[in-house]
Amino acid sequence: MGTVDTIVAMAYLVAAIAFIAGLHLMNSPATARKGSPISTAGMVVAVAATLAKMANDGNTSTTAWIVLAAGLVVGGGAGLWMAHSVKMTAIPQLVSLFNAVGGGAAAVIAIADFVRLAGVSGTAITPRTAVATALDVIIGGVTFSGSLIAAGKLQGWITGQPVVFRGARVLTGALAAVGVGGSAYLFTGSENIGILMMVVGASLVFGITMVLPIGGADMPVVISLLNAFTGIAVAMAGFVINSAGLIIGGALVGASGTILTILMAEAMNRSIPNIIIGGFGTGDSAVAVGAGATGDIRRLSADDAAIQMSYASKVIIVPGYGLAAAQAQRECRELADVLESRGVDVSYAIHPVAGRMPGHMNVLLAEVNVPYTQLKEMDAVNPEFDSADVALVVGANDVTNPAARRPNTPLSGMPILDVDHAKNIIVIKRSMGHGYAGIDNELYTNPKTGMFFADAKKGLAEITAAAKALVG
Amino acid sequence: MSAGLVSDISIFVLAILAGYEVISKVPSTLHTPLMSASNAIHGIVVVGAMITAAQAHDATGYVLMFVASVFAAMNVVGGYAVTDRMLEMFKKRPAPQPQADPTKNGN
């Protein structure tokens, strides 16, 4: 090992330590912000070391330098622009897009290496390279197309409903056969680029057919799973081109993504095989016919809601996706401020999957400086509903539906917030529309519940104005 | 099996265990930032794109390497930028919101 090679290897080690340290600091909200710069520094070290090695080896052609620089500037610029222009509610889509390009890059690296080796006569493709290449293009390909579909579903470009079509099972089987058969052929040391492309194509189509049948509600779990896939694809690319840096970074993400996926799936009371296989063929368990769409509901005006809350001693706010979608976090905070100024005890009940992902709602509320101490997780807040005068549900639906406590509903078994235990319930919602589960929410027909039909942002602003008028 | 492959597999397995240990302790509040942070870390694939660039010597190689470098750079730069934006919101702030009441100080 030359001096430069040794230094480069050490630099990758430093980068790996920085990645692990960075993730470790994310254990606590207090230290989380320190984690990112450390991880970034590790990435800079790894890139700088690679540049140094390329310059030192001197076998990178001038054209390659120019093309590389152009690629990095274009890709980096696009990434930076997207990261800064995206709305906080659209972050899951963006993460999915970055998964797609990460997995895509890993697959392309393996393809480039294969094409190069195939072009050089007399160099055999070793079993190690063949196996890593096949795994890389399969996982990377599935991640690329699957992540794009997932992002499209969340963005609303592709229907959030499960898309099921005839012959899906046969197609899946055929794709799997092509993938496995093609890979097996490559393991024999074949240099046939056509076969490799067949495997790539099958993986891309497989990614689409894997994600299309999955409903929008499960998309966060799928994105998290694809994040783990990307990590593994990157690690495989590391095996292809003998880079310990890629192997370590990819494996770290593979492990973290897997755990996060399991945690999310648990919070939604879904199993991962259920989500993935459930999409194929069986479709979602037939949507139960709602018990009583005709049940009476009680309408509430902004003034009614303001009076109820202003004279309460304890109010628990239950934010849901409706709040996130309407960007109403600031209005929510303002209402809480007004109530607090009147001596009302205000706290927030955060369901693990409120918003779009675990922790998503916390991020949105933190954006408007809601103190951490007021954000309560489900297990901590559920007993408190019994003593709450008002539970204010803002754009949350399925996570408050008491139907989840009974068997044989699409929600059965999902942990919910015990909103119905509060003395009074106010629901701000645009309409009686259904949540992801597609069933009526029995909470809305509860005699204790008042419905205030409005967009979360407007509704909260109106209630706040009404509450202020009371104070004045 | 070559010694190189054995050591690579060892690194792979140990890195998975490290990732598992480090991450299983994260509170759910930080899961979205965490997903974004790990998303940025797989941007290490940019190093792979660079290594591929060093080996590219024909048109096909250049095209593939260009695609790889655009994708990888988007992943790594965007991943870190969006993670930072999110963590920006976890800034420490004084526990009670400072009530703007400067007159109080004098008395």
User: Residue A287: pLDDT above 70?
Assistant: no
End-to-end CA distance of chain B: 80
Distance from CA of A278 to the nearest CA of B (A): 24
Interhelix angle A329-341/A456-471, nearest 10 degrees: 20
What is the average pLDDT score of chain A? Answer: 85
User: Does residue A463 contact residue A306 with C-beta atoms inside 8 Å?
Assistant: yes
The token duo for B31 is 């899961």
CB contact under 8 A, B16 and A63: no
Interface test with A, best of B7, B36, B42, B63 (most A CBs within 10 A): B42
| Ramachandran bin of A164, using left for φ above 0, alpha for ψ from -120 to 50, beta for the remaining angles | beta
What are the CB-based long-range contacts (under 8 Å, 24+) for A261-266? A261/A221, A261/A224, A261/A225, A261/A227, A261/A228, A263/A358, A263/B28, A263/B31, A264/A220, A264/A221, A264/A224, A264/A352, A264/A353, A264/A357, A264/A358, A264/B31, A265/A221
Q: What is the pLDDT of residues A105-142, one digit of tens each?
A: 999 999 999 999 888 877 778 888 999 999 999 999 99
CB contact under 8 A, A230 and B42: yes
Q: What percent of chain A has pLDDT over 70?
A: 92
The token duo for B47 is 């190093």
Does B59 touch chain A if contact means CB atoms closer than 8 Å? no
Query: Of A102, A103, A104, A82, which is closest to residue A93 (Cα–Cα)?
Result: A82
Q: Pick A219 or A346 by higher pLDDT.
A: A346
Interface test with B, best of A26, A117, A145, A379 (most B CBs within 10 A): A26
Does A118 touch chain B if contact means CB atoms closer than 8 Å? no
The pairing of strands A390-394 and A314-319 is: parallel
End-to-end CA distance of chain A: 78
Q: What is the pLDDT of residues A411-464, one digit of tens each?
A: 777 788 899 999 999 999 887 777 666 677 888 888 889 888 888 888 999 999
Nearest by CB: B81 against A84, A231, A358: A84
User: Does residue A390 contact residue A312 with C-beta atoms inside 8 Å?
Assistant: yes
Does B29 touch chain A if contact means CB atoms closer than 8 Å? yes
pLDDT at residue A179 in the model: 92
What number of helices (H) and strands (E) belong to chain A? Answer: 16, 6
pLDDT at residue B25 in the model: 60
Does A208 touch chain B if contact means CB atoms closer than 8 Å? no
The pairing of strands A375-377 and A390-394 is: unpaired
CA B17-A134-A131 angle, 5° bins: 65
Does A157 touch chain B if contact means CB atoms closer than 8 Å? no
The chain B residue lying nearest A47, using CA atoms, is B47
Residues 85-104 of B with CB under 8 A from A: 85-93, 95, 97
Torsions phi, psi of A376, nearest 5?
-115, 135
Low-confidence ranges of chain B (pLDDT < 70): 1, 24-29, 89-107
pLDDT at residue A441 in the model: 84
Task: Give the right CATH number for A302-471 from 3.40.605.10, 3.40.50.1220, 3.40.190.10, 3.55.50.30.
Answer: 3.40.50.1220
CB contact under 8 A, A105 and B27: no
- Which helix (DSSP H) or strand (DSSP E) does residue A271 occupy? none
Q: Give the DSSP per-residue string, A364-415.
A: HHHHTT--GGGEEEHHHHGGGGGG-SEEEEES--GGG-GGGGSSSSTTTT--
Does B6 touch chain A if contact means CB atoms closer than 8 Å? no
The token duo for A326 is 């309407």
- Which helix (DSSP H) or strand (DSSP E) does residue A319 occupy? strand A314-319
Least confident span in A98-107, A269-278, A302-311: A269-278
| Contact list, A36 vs chain B (CB under 8 Å) | 37, 80, 83-84, 87
pLDDT at residue A280 in the model: 41
Interface test with B, best of A109, A229, A361, A365 (most B CBs within 10 A): A109
Distance from CA of A281 to the nearest CA of B (A): 30
CB contact under 8 A, A359 and B19: no
* pTM higher than 0.80: no
Does A324 touch chain B if contact means CB atoms closer than 8 Å? no
Catalytic residue from among A113, A218, A284, A398: A398
- According to DSSP, the residues that pair with A429 across neighbouring strands are A453
Least confident span in A32-41, A206-215, B5-14, B82-91: B82-91
pLDDT at residue A16 in the model: 92
Residues whose CB falls within 8 Å of the CB of residue A396, separated by 6 or more in sequence, listed in order: A318, A319, A320, A321, A322, A323, A351, A354, A417
Residues 438-467 of A with CB under 8 A from B: none
Distance from CA of B103 to the nearest CA of A (A): 19
- Which helix (DSSP H) or strand (DSSP E) does residue A419 occupy? none
Question: Rounded to whole angstroms, how far apart are CA atoms B48 and A65?
Answer: 14
User: Does residue A455 contact residue A329 with C-beta atoms inside 8 Å?
Assistant: no
Interface test with A, best of B45, B64, B76 (most A CBs within 10 A): B45
**Domain locations along chain A:** 1-85, 92-283, 302-471
Q: What is the pLDDT of residues A373-395, one digit of tens each?
A: 888 888 888 999 999 999 999 98
| Contact list, B90 vs chain A (CB under 8 Å) | 29, 32-33, 366
Q: Is A398 a catalytic residue?
A: yes
Question: Rounded to whole angstroms, how far apart are CA atoms A329 and A374?
Answer: 14
| Contact list, A254 vs chain B (CB under 8 Å) | 16, 19
User: Does residue B52 contact residue A112 with C-beta atoms inside 8 Å?
Assistant: yes
pLDDT at residue A358 in the model: 65
CB contact under 8 A, A73 and B73: yes
A 10 A CB-CB count for B5 gives 15
Does A23 touch chain B if contact means CB atoms closer than 8 Å? yes
Nearest by CB: A251 against B19, B29, B60: B19
B31-62 b/e with 16+ CB inside 10 Å = b? bbbbbbbbbbbbbbbbbbbbbbbbbbeeeebb
Does A13 touch chain B if contact means CB atoms closer than 8 Å? no
The ipTM estimated for the assembled molecules is 0.84
Q: What is the pLDDT of residues A144-175, one digit of tens each?
A: 999 999 999 888 788 777 777 777 778 888 99
